[in-house]
Amino acid sequence: MESKVLNWKIKKSKFETHPSITMVSTNTRQRNVCKRRLNPVLAVPPSSVILHTDESGEFPESRNSSSSSNASLSSCAGSLLCHPNTVGIMGGGSVDSTLSFVRKLVHWSKENEETCTPFVLCSDPVLNRELLSLERNSSTLCSRNARSQFDHSPIVENLLSKRVFLEKSGAQCIVVPCHISHSWHDEVFKGCSIPSLHMAECVSRELKEAKLKPLEAGSPLRIGVLATDVTLKAGFYQEKLQNEGFEVVLPDKATMEHTVIPAIDAINRKDMEGARNLLRIALQVLLVREVNTVILASNDMCDLLPRDDPLLKKCIDPMDALVMSTIKWAQQAVKEGMQHFSTH
């Protein structure tokens, strides 16, 4: 099919012309639950397509008005999927971490099911750059005056437009596999017609269900959080963990200034070995403060250490908790959908 809308080989110039890219995944088994039939263009294998949208989240009209495939895609823009367990995924600062989340969602959801969870993925390179720049340059925003002068409203508006787009696309739940985006989670999802999963809530709930025991009898359960300065200043991890009864341990000022911030700077310089050594020091500083585990609330940090590193076994990747919570939500949505379908 010669269609720019479905062309997987997208050149860099196309990203600039259409800053938002949406990926839609569905499956054949759950199609049978739907009362109305999806457009054939979206139903044929492979089970994922990429759709271009403009900055407002709408599908731009094709220059070739006689193209039936483009017309049919535009006609289904209001609701791409109709499954009761469709997940809307809002991409964040790192495309790689977003795709890592998707891979885990697909593989882990298929462990106990024949098919994966249907999803709509919205990724905007403009938003990617803004969030990544804010997170990686957080060391320059350490002072209160610098942070107060930084205008976050364009980022919030962009996130809000993606939320609205995912709602209109048929998503029944929205997840954001990006730490820094959660800084404005309440603002972005205020008045949202569908539920959203908060990554910090997911990892806090998972730790609560694990029934951890204090390292020292009579001491409170301590959870360390290691992240960039801008994520720690947002405070949502501290809030959600404290709501579950945990004592939160953060890096002190010296650790941030001499290990965490230099580690982020080293990553920016592509000095991965230097960043890896600094991260190890930061983790050891937290662990000697008798924390049960350390939440690595940074995609860059999670990818630094090798999988067999002993220190990594003391850490938790919040993305994993978000994936598991998403799968649990999807499974429950299917059960409720089946019950509703059987009674009508």
CA distance 29 to 31: 5
Q: When comparing pLDDT for 5 and 87, which is higher?
A: 87
- 135 vs 306: CA distance, rounded Å: 23
Looking only at the bridges linking them, the beta strands covering 173-175 and 119-123 are unpaired
**Burial of 61 by CB count in 10 Å (0-12 exposed, 13-18 middle, 19+ buried)?**
exposed
Tokens at residue 56, please?
A: 């407002």
Residue extents of the structural domains in the chain:
81-142+149-342
Least confident of 145-154, 197-206, 280-289, 296-305: 145-154
- Mean pLDDT, residues 36-45 taken together: 33
pLDDT digit string, tens, across residues 58-102: 444 433 333 333 333 333 445 667 788 999 999 988 888 899 999
- Comparing CA positions, the residue from 228, 275, 222 lying closest to residue 249 is 222
Q: Can you give the pLDDT at residue 300?
A: 86
Question: b/e map of 190-214 (b: 16 or more CB within 10 Å)?
Answer: eeeeeebbbbbbbbbbbbeeeeeee
Q: What is the CATH number of domain 81-142+149-342?
A: 3.40.50.1860
State the pLDDT at residue 89: 96
What length does the chain have? 344
Out of 147-161, 213-227, 241-255, least confident range: 147-161
Is 249 within 8 Å of 243 (Cβ atoms)?
no
137-182: pLDDT as tens digits: 665 544 444 444 567 888 999 999 999 999 999 999 999 999 999 9
Q: Count CA atoms within 13 Å of residue 204 on its CB side.
A: 19
**% residues pLDDT > 90 (the chain):** 51
Residue 133 has pLDDT above 90, yes or no: no
Percentage with pLDDT > 70 across the chain: 69
